[in-house]
Structure formats: structure tokens, C-alpha cells
């Protein structure tokens, strides 16, 4: 599926990150998972080690907080000195917290931006200079469909995922002449611990909008991502509905907003009747 020899995956102990790790291990890659919870990392490492396909295959873990740049830089400097610069970096660490804008604390907005955007930025600031020095590498940043179009109830989460889109757009242009490929992924609702966490926090309108689309498995999303990376795609959109949403927003332009307003009005009518 991929020719990458060494992959670093943030948020790799669960969800989409762990699903990607399983596929990469099955394909013979050395893999390093980076996350905060060392207990979960150890369990994930044990599972992946049992699935390894090479006797010398390395399954490493790093317990670190992507929001702490200074500590992260020190840890990644030590790790790359021991294991080399990764061929593939996947930024899958992320958090979500839906709610009405007026009800969300300012601290929640900072937390979402710190983990989702600055967490991605910090990892890349640590590793991109090393990739440039080598002249090669692949970067995959995980955005969201909430980073394609503003979705009711996701003012904090959506803004952080739009920021990843903006960063990825610029990096794609800057890194291409330097031999480094960049991809950005827009997953829909995916069956992960994050989806379970947010289900009781969603406003009724958000739940109604979500009910109009299907939920993908983390394995399905992971397969789509690696297939897109292999083909050198910049935009990777898992699922038919996600691709349709992207095409419609491109086709409709500003007409997208009246359509969203109609869906929200219908959701609010349903909320009142219930």
C-alpha cells in the first residue's frame, strides 16, 4: 500500500491514527505512535507488535503533549537522532467540543485551537526542517468536513480545522519545490472515541444535521487516506457523501448558505415539536 519506511503518527493510540498505524504495520513500515496517555500507547504498541510482518520491524511510542512545543521539540530531536527523520508524518491528534457559540467558554476555544491547530503546527515545526535537509518526506494533516463548510454547533472545532486547511494550503505550495509532499484529509463523522465523547454535547440542530449523513469506520477512513497518499493526492476526502459535499460547495458557492439555513430551520422546527 505504501513504500514509506518510517511513519510518525500523532494521536496514534486510538481512532483514525491507530487505524492508520495498523495498515502501515501490515505493510511493513516502522511506526512510532505519539500521544499523551502512556497506558494507551503501551496497549497499542503491544497490539501492533503482535501484527508485525518483519522480524526487525520497529513499533515505537512517544508519550508527549503536542501543545507543549519546547518539550515536544526536545523529545522529537532525541527520537530522530535515534531512529532517523520519518518518511511519513501524520497529524491525527485532535479534540472536539460542540456547543452553541454563546455557551462555550473562551478556554474551550483556546483548547481546541491549541490541540488541533498548534499541535499540528508544533510537530511540523520540529520535523519539516529535518525533511528539508534530507530533501524528501510526506506530511498528512487531518482536518474535517467541519473545515470545509461551517457546520452549526462547531464554532470552536470548525475554526481549528479551517486553520489546518489554511496551513496545509500554504505548506503544499512551499514544500513542493523542496521535495516534500503534503496532503490534507477531510473525514466525516467517524466511529472513534471522539465521536462518542461529543454525542451528548451536540446541540439538537447539530444532531439533526449529523443524522443526514452516515458514519464511517476508522478503518475505512484510514484506507482512503493511505490510498490517497500513494496516489500523491493533496485533497483526500473519505466517503461518497464527503466527496459530494465538497463538489456541491464548489459548485454552489455562496448558494451553499441558503441550503444550510434551510436544513437548520427544519432542524429547529423538529426541536420545537419535540
Residue 71 grid coordinates: 518539550
Check: CB of residue 33 under 8 Å from CB of residue 21. Answer: yes
The pairing of beta strand 180-185 with beta strand 190-191: unpaired
* The one catalytic residue among 40, 154, 160, 161: 161
What DSSP assignment string belongs to 196-223?
HHHTTTS-HHHHHHHHTSPPEEHHHHHH
In order of 8, 96, 117, the CA distances from 88 in angstroms are 6, 25, 19
Look up 162 and say whether it is catalytic.
no
Look up 143 and say whether it is catalytic.
yes
Look up 161 and say whether it is catalytic.
yes
* The one catalytic residue among 14, 44, 143, 155: 143
**What are φ and ψ of residue 8, in 5° steps?**
-110, 125
Check: CB of residue 117 under 8 Å from CB of residue 91. Answer: no
260 Cβ contact partners less than 8 Å away, ≥ 6 residues apart: 149, 150, 152
* The one catalytic residue among 154, 157, 162, 186: 157
Interatomic CA distance for residues 208 and 204, integer angstroms = 6
In order of 58, 85, 107, 182, 188, the CA distances from 138 in angstroms are 19, 11, 33, 6, 23
266 Cβ contact partners less than 8 Å away, ≥ 6 residues apart: 208
Interatomic CA distance for residues 238 and 217, integer angstroms = 10
Residues annotated catalytic, as ranges: 143, 157, 161
Amino acid at each position: 500500500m505504501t513504500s514509506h519506511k518510517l511513519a510518525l503518527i500523532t494521536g496514534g493510540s486510538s481512532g483514525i491514527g491507530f487505524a492508520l498505524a495498523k495498515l502501515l504495520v501490515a505493510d511493513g513500515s516502522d511506526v512510532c505512535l505519539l500521544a499523551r496517555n502512556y497506558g494507551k500507547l503501551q496497549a497499542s504498541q503491544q497490539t501492533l507488535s503482535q501484527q508485525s510482518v518483519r522480524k526487525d520491524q520497529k513499533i515505537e511510542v512517544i508519550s508527549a503533549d503536542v501543545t507543549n512545543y519546547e518539550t515536544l521539540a526536545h523529545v522529537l530531536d532525541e527520537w530522530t537522532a535515534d531512529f532517523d527523520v520519518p518518511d511519513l508524518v501524520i497529524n491525527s491528534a485532535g479534540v472536539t467540543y460542540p456547543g452553541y457559540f454563546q455557551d462555550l467558554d473562551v478556554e474551550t476555544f483556546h483548547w481546541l485551537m491549541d490541540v488541533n491547530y498548534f499541535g499540528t503546527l508544533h510537530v511540523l515545526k520540529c520535523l519539516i526542517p529535518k525533511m528539508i535537509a534530507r530533501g524528501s518526506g510526506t506530511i498528512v494533516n487531518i482536518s474535517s468536513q467541519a473545515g470545509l463548510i461551517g457546520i452549526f454547533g462547531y464554532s470552536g472545532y470548525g475554526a481549528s480545522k479551517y486553520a489546518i486547511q489554511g496551513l496545509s494550503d500554504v505548506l503544499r505550495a512551499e514544500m513542493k519545490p523542496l521535495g516534500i509532499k503534503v496532503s490534507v484529509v477531510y473525514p466525516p463523522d467517524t466511529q472513534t472515541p471522539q465521536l462518542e465523547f461529543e454525542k451528548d454535547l451536540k446541540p439538537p440542530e447539530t444532531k439533526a444535521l449529523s443524522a443526514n449523513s452516515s458514519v464511517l469506520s476508522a478503518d475505512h477512513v484510514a484506507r482512503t487516506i493511505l490510498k490517497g497518499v500513494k496516489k500523491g493526492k493533496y485533497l483526500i476526502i473519505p466517503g461518497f457523501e464527503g466527496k459530494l459535499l465538497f463538489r456541491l460547495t464548489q459548485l454552489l458557492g455562496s448558494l451553499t448558505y441558503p441550503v444550510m439555513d434551510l436544513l437548520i430551520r427544519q432542524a429547529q422546527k423538529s426541536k420545537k415539536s419535540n
